Amino acid sequence: MKRETAWRVFAGEYNDSNFEVKGTGEKTPSYIITPLGAKVNRLFIVGVLTDVENISESGELVRAHISDPTGVYTLYSGQYQQDATDALSAIEVPAFVAVLGKARTYKPEEGVLYVSIRPEKIMEVNAEARDQWILETCESTKERIEAVLEAMKMSQSNAYDLRKLGYSRDLSDGVVAALKNYGNVDIEKYITLIQESLQYLRPSREKLAFPVDDEEKPEKKTKTKKTKEAKKEEKEEKKEDSEDVENTVLEVIKGIGGENGASWDAITKKCEKSGLSRDSVEEALNSLMDKGLIYEPVLGTIKTT
């Protein structure tokens, strides 16, 4: 029996998943099919461990959350994964961690599916390891996007033709299954997900390129180019503005947060006095949490990492 691939999938894609292929026998694996066709039985993730909580009276079952640039993974670990459970409980949060784990699902009712991870191995890592994982996961996500686009071009998508284009058997099967279950996949959403994730890397990292449709008339192409440049400039300006807001919010937290941190309301009020709107403050707080620069040890209380 082959060992299942440990997929690199961002939380933003993994948490969008609502389709599971159940194994029919005791040793037949089950898979979660993501919207981009990752056929996930096992995952490898790297992110910021933000909290670990005992959710059973005996303390044998813990729940943890790990954030990456696109969202948050939920982990459950118990007595049957004792090494992983002990490791989770011993790590002082927040911390960069790498996790190898199994995909798990929970169906509270018909038509509703939640995904989580059961960790097999977990270890603390550094920011460089997190950056490397982001880059590799961007590349994997880009490949899945391209496979989905190729499948969409076909009169009837099929795994055989995708394999002929060089895609793996698992990805080819997963893409066909994803298109049947999810219908028209929002490709732009996942392209944006990659672009936003790359912003977490050092400036020296090169961005991944995406194919652009060049079959346009010359005059139309020039007009489109200007529009794209204008949008790019506007996006850069917004990025600079958001970074300024985040820096201001971070300084406020450092200024008013003592050993126990600062309350969400106190941070917001202080920032509003500096001329920031409540919406921009909340957006900055969420972004800083995603980046692992702040965390919420207790609901409504913010601390810096």
What digits encode the pLDDT tens for the residues 39-69?
Answer: 999 999 999 999 999 887 766 789 999 999 9
User: Does 209 score more than 70 pLDDT?
Assistant: no
Residue 203 confidence (pLDDT): 53
Which pLDDT band holds residue 103 (cuts at 50, 70, 90)? very high
Distance CA 179, CA 34 (A): 10
Least confident of 3-12, 219-228, 295-304: 219-228
Q: What is the mean pLDDT of the chain?
A: 83
Q: Could you tell me the pTM of the whole model? A: 0.68
Distance CA 84, CA 158 (A): 39
Which CATH number is associated with domain 6-125?
A: 2.40.50.140
Which pLDDT band holds residue 280 (cuts at 50, 70, 90)? confident
Question: What residues are paired with 274 via a beta bridge?
Answer: none
Residue 141 confidence (pLDDT): 97
Task: Please give the C-alpha separations between residue 69 and each of 10, 72, 174, 201, 293, in angstroms, as whole numbers.
Answer: 8, 9, 24, 10, 12
Residue 194 confidence (pLDDT): 94
pLDDT in tens, 24-46: 666 678 899 999 999 999 999 99
Residue 227 confidence (pLDDT): 56
Residue 104 confidence (pLDDT): 93
User: Does 283 score more than 80 pLDDT?
Assistant: yes
Determine whether domain 220-304 maps to CATH 1.10.10.10.
Answer: yes
220-304: same fold as 6-125? no
Task: Please give the C-alpha separations between residue 175 and each of 2, 32, 172, in angstroms, as whole numbers.
Answer: 21, 12, 5
Domain ranges of the chain: 6-125, 220-304
> How many other C-beta atoms lie within 10 A of the C-beta of residue 64?
25
User: Does 216 score more than 50 pLDDT?
Assistant: no
